[in-house]
Structures are given as structure tokens and as C-alpha cells.
Amino acid sequence: APKVSSSRPLLLDADQSRAGSPDAAREANMTKPGKRKPEGPDTEDTLCCCEYLDRKGERSHLAACLCECEDLDECCERWLTCKSLPPGILERIADTFADRFRFPWLKGAVKIDISLLPPIILLPVFLHVAALHFLLAVVILISLPVLVLWYYYLTHKKKGQTLFFLSLGLFSLGYMYYVFLQEVVPRGHVGHGQVTLLTCGLVLMLVALFRAKRNPGYLCQTNTDKALYQGSSSKANRNGLGSSNGLYRAAVTGMVMNSNTEGYSRLLNKEPGRITEDWCTKCQLLRPARAGHCRICSRCVKRLDHHCVWYVPWGSSLINSCVGEQNHPAFVLALSLFLLTAVYGISLTLDTICRGKATIKALFYCPGVYMDYSYAYVKHLSLLSSSALSFTCVWYCTIVTSGMGYILLTQLLNISYNVTEREARIALRENTGRRWFGGMIVDTGQYNHGFLRNWVQFLTLRSPLLQHSTEDIV
């Protein structure tokens, strides 16, 4: 009996020590299909092309993308039995699907953003369907802008960052150019010089977009900001000031923190003869005049104009980016080049498919294009052998160009009055400053120095020394 009782603890200790060994852990991970725990900090270096680390930090494989789908199974079971779904299950299914939607790559499977796919798949389908009949074209060309605007307001309201607008913008450019080369150019009415000019305009616009990737002017916290924040906090604690009314007394003369301004606490310098400076409690820094905090990027930007969802800061981790002091001129240049290139491409296409008609008249009346498309579709089974698709793409480009033209016009008017889009919205909301044409033109009067000086200041935003010298000359 003593031998048996003494050997049992020894066996248990051996099993416990083996359970805590690396071999046992590796065997335990192998028992779960498709997933293994990461074994060290260099796990990503040892991943094969089909492996990845999921959102839980576990090592998984693309072959196991259909494993462990409890939420999906529960959702299907409740749907078949006509039961209500528990709250949050659809969001969990969407997150799981987005995490497992990957592409094999050299050092592990790369995650693909699902928002990239709808424009690439749906835009050609919608345009081909719209080319079948005039009424289908009207319905689809009206629905597309409505859906895009609805998705924009949905993501903007939720402070979301998406690749949808990047995919839509770049793919629309590429697909329109492809249709132009495949349908319009082979007809022989467009010369090589015109094709070269259109291509150069497209390339220059992409170069301007690439230059717009620059830092818009993000503000960074300095030692002075840290000391000011610590001093104001300690001062407020000693005086027993709370945050219930949104007001705090800072440790700096003539400055007050107000948390009711634009949702963030601000430090306002109201000393006469000095430029107003704001304190941002989100970034915990003192920002200069005309700077603002972007709630989507969660950073403060010098001379913040607005947050744009259409162009791409290739060098940063965000797709949506701000238009600020450093990239505002490049943004306006890209809009101008897009407008000129689009109008030139539309005119070339209409002159080709509607021979003998003026461009504006051909845009609204070009008989025979949809009949030609239907005949080609039935007789030759070629979706790109008629002018209906080209005419539909012309109207799609016209709608997009009209929207971009409105944005460009607003930008030019704001520059002429030295007002940013953010300052114009604040003036409209607070009913300050002068306005014309229903608020399309806003003049706050605070930074307006005349038409010429305003444009000189805008064109020299990225060169402070050049800006001061040119202003002195003017």
C-alpha cells in the first residue's frame, strides 16, 4: 500500500510536468484543426504563404476558413426555425468574415479589405445593364449617386475609414479609360495626338494625387504642451474645479478651457493683440490659429480644410485623410486636372459616337445608340461592339465630373476669400460672417486680405519664408 500511494503522486507529477512542456503544448495545438497558438515573437517570420494571425492572435490557415463558425451556424439555425437573432451576431459574423478574407502572400496571407470589391464587381455590371435600354440607364444612373452618397454619410457618421471610395475612384478612372481605348479609339475618329494628350492628363492627375499623399500638417505634442497640460490639471485639482460645466481654469493667464466647443476641450487665448490659440484635449497640445482636430483621423492638422475620402495618402496607414496646410494646393491641382481631363474625354467620345452634333446637344440627344447596342448584343454577342456602353459611360463621367466641379468651385471661392471649408461650416452654423448664394460663398472677414494676397498666401502655404516675402511684395 505505501508503494502504490507513493507511486501515484509520482505519476501525477510526471503527467503534470509533461503537460507543461513545449511538446505537450504543441500536441494540444495540433489537436485543434486549422489553428495553433503563436510560439514566439518571431511567429510572423515563420508563417507560410497560407497562414496568418487572426484577430485573436492565434495562428490559422486559409484551409480552415470554414471551421469554427458557431455564430454563422446559430444564425442559420435560428433563421430556419423562424427565431429572432441575438443582438450583435451579424456584426460578429461580418468581423469574422472580414478577418478570414485573405490572399496568399510570401510572409503570410494578406488581409483584403472587403470594401474594395463592390466597385470593382458592381460598376461594370451596372453600366452594362444600363446600356441595354434607355429606361434602365436612367434608373441606374440616378441610383448610383444616391447609393454612394448614402454610404458616404453612413461611414462619415460612424467615423469609419473605408477603401470603398478609393476603389470606386481609381477603378472608375481605369474602366472609363479602358472603354475609351476599346470602343472609341478603334473607330478612327480620334487621332494619336488626342489619345496622347488625354493619357498625359490622366497621368498628371495621378501624380498630383500622389503629391497629395504628403503630411497634411499634423501637429505633434511638444514638451511645452505636456507641461501646460500637467500644470492646468494640477491647478484645476487644487482649486476643486470639475468638468460638469465644461469650464476649467488653466495655469496660464488669460486662458480658459471650454469642453463645449466642437465636443473637445479647448484653451482659448483672449489676450488683445495676439492670435487665438486653442487647446485640444484629445491630442493634449496647443494648436495655432486655423488648426483643427479631425474626428476621423483623431489628429490635429494645421489650417484644416476638411477630411477627404476620395484621394489616397499612400505613405500612411490611413486611406481617408485630411486636407490641410501641406497638401491643400496639391488637392486643388488634382481636382483641376481631373475636371479638364474628364471634359476632354467626354467631348472626344461624344464627337465619335454622335457624328455631326455639337457636344452639349449630343449629350442629351444621340438617337440610335441603344438600338445599336441591342442589335449588337443579339446578333454578335459582343457587349463592347456598340456605342451604347460608351454613351452610358459618358453620362456616368458627366455625373461624377459635375460633383467634382462643384467641389472645385467651392474650393476656388474659399481660397479667394481666404476661408477654409471648416471655417465656412462654423460660420454658417453660428450665423457669423457674410454669405452669398445660400451660403455657397462665405466671408468670415478674419483672414481676408484681398483677392491677390489670398491667392499668394495659398500658393505659398508650404513655404513660410516665400509666403512672407511675396506678401511683402504684394
Q: Cα separation of 346 and 349, whole Å?
A: 5
Q: Cα separation of 394 and 400, whole Å?
A: 10
User: Interhelix angle for 2-19 vs 22-31, to 10°?
Assistant: 70
Q: Cα separation of 410 and 414, whole Å?
A: 6
* Burial category of 91 from C-beta neighbours within 10 Å (exposed 0-12, middle 13-18, buried 19 and up): exposed
β-bridge mates for residue 51, sequence order: 61
N residues, the chain: 474
| Tally of CA atoms within 13 A in the half-sphere of 328 that contains its CB | 27
The rounded radius of gyration (Å) of the Cα atoms in the chain is 30
Cell of 40: 514566439
Is the distance from CB of 190 to CB of 346 less than 8 angstroms? no
- Three-state DSSP state, 415: helix
Handedness of CA 424, 429, 435, 438 (dihedral sign): positive
Cell of 66: 470554414
Closest CA to 388 of 375, 379, 401: 375
401: left (phi over 0), alpha (psi -120 to 50) or beta: alpha
Known catalytic membership, residue 393: no
- Three-state DSSP state, 2: helix
Candidates 280, 294, 300, 308; catalytic one:
308
Q: Catalytic positions, please?
A: 308
